[in-house]
Structure 1
Amino acid sequence: MSSYILLKISLLLHIIGIVIMAGTTFADYFTFRQMLKYLRQDAQKAIAVNTATARFSMLMGLGLALLILSGVLMVSVYGHAFTTQVWFRVKMGIVLLILLNGLLIARPSMTKLRKLLPLGENGKEVSALQKRISIFHITQFLLFVLVFVLSVFRFS
């Protein structure tokens, strides 16, 4: 297979990976907002929505794996030409922040929220978790926009 075709396939998989991650974040945001609305009205509906979205993290992981594997393949095809460029290094840092934001903020907060919802908890602890998860979503959106901007414009 020619390096040109391999590069194009890698780029396609790379774009699919980032779209899966960003799309899952958008879906998670909107279902989280719906869950909050249900939490005020009917806790059982909130629990059902929250349970249905529990697999989103697996989808995010799939997108991340696709993103990393295709990125490594592109770097190997290009012969590390991008790795010295500023935009690429900044982009890698942002991708790391996206990963850390998910692992350190979203995962523990959602896990704790999933444990509290069936108990009928709706106090200060749930409010604090809701705020943390909202901050996570806003941060993720901004980080994804930065990744897209850096990928398109490739600032030096």
Structure 2
Amino acid sequence: MNTLLIRRIILVLHVTGIVVMAGTTMIDCLTFNTFWTLADADQRRATGLIPLMARYGTFIRSGAITIILTGIVLLVLDKQVLWSRLWFKIKMILVAALILNGLLIGNRQGHRLRDAVITHADDFLQHTTAIRENMNRFYPVQLTLFFLIILISMLRSDR
């Protein structure tokens, strides 16, 4: 197989990882909003979404691993020329922000929410106000970062 074909296959896997991560984040956001809609009406009914929400992390992590591994392969195939490109440096800063936001805000708040729902099953609304506010900021930031990363990748100036 020639290098161009291999590069295109790796690029497809890379984009697939991004789609999995961004799509799962969007579904997680929609489920989170549904959770609060249900919780405001009937707390017990809302708790049924917690196990589903806990599973999204597996998809996000698998997408992240795919992106990282294929990104390294693409960098090697391009003989590290990408490092000299301004658009690539900006993209890497956005990717770092995406990962840090996901780990430090999204993941932590998700665990705190699940713990609060389990610990305070009958009155978790009182114990989750701050979590709800943090997550209402987290999702728009995370989805905006995905959008910017994809936009920069599509508009890159080295074509």
Place the TM-score, normalised by the shorter chain, in its bin: over 0.9
Instruction: Give 5+ residue unaligned stretches, structure 1.
Output: none
Residue-by-residue CA offset, 1:58-77 (whole Å, 9 max, x unaligned):
11000011011111111111
Secondary structure of 1:53's counterpart equals: helix
CA RMSD of aligned residues (A): 1.2
TM-aligned CA deviation for residue 155 of structure 1: 4.2
Q: Does 1:153 pair with 2:155?
A: yes
Residue 144 of structure 1, aligned match among 129, 134, 146:
146
TM-score where L is the length of structure 2: 0.93
**Contact 1:31–1:49 (CA under 8 A) maintained in structure 2:** yes
Give the 5 Å matches for 1:60-75. Answer: 60-75=60-75
Instruction: Give 5+ residue unaligned stretches, structure 2.
Output: none
Counterpart code for 1:72 = I
TM-aligned CA deviation for residue 78 of structure 1: 1.0
Matches of 2:45 and 2:19 in 1, distance apart? 29
Matches of 2:52 and 2:78 in 1, distance apart? 41
Give the 5 Å matches for 1:24-103. Answer: 24-103=24-103
* Structure 1 residue ranges, 4+ long, deviating more than 6 angstroms after superposition: none
TM-score where L is the length of structure 1: 0.95
Counterpart code for 1:151 = S
How many residues get paired? 155
Matches of 1:110 and 1:155 in 2, distance apart? 38
Matches of 1:138 and 1:149 in 2, distance apart? 16
Residue 125 of structure 2, aligned match among 116, 122, 127:
122
Report percent identity of matched pairs.
29
**Contact 1:32–1:50 (CA under 8 A) maintained in structure 2:** no
Matches of 1:58 and 1:15 in 2, distance apart? 18
TM-aligned CA deviation for residue 44 of structure 1: 2.2
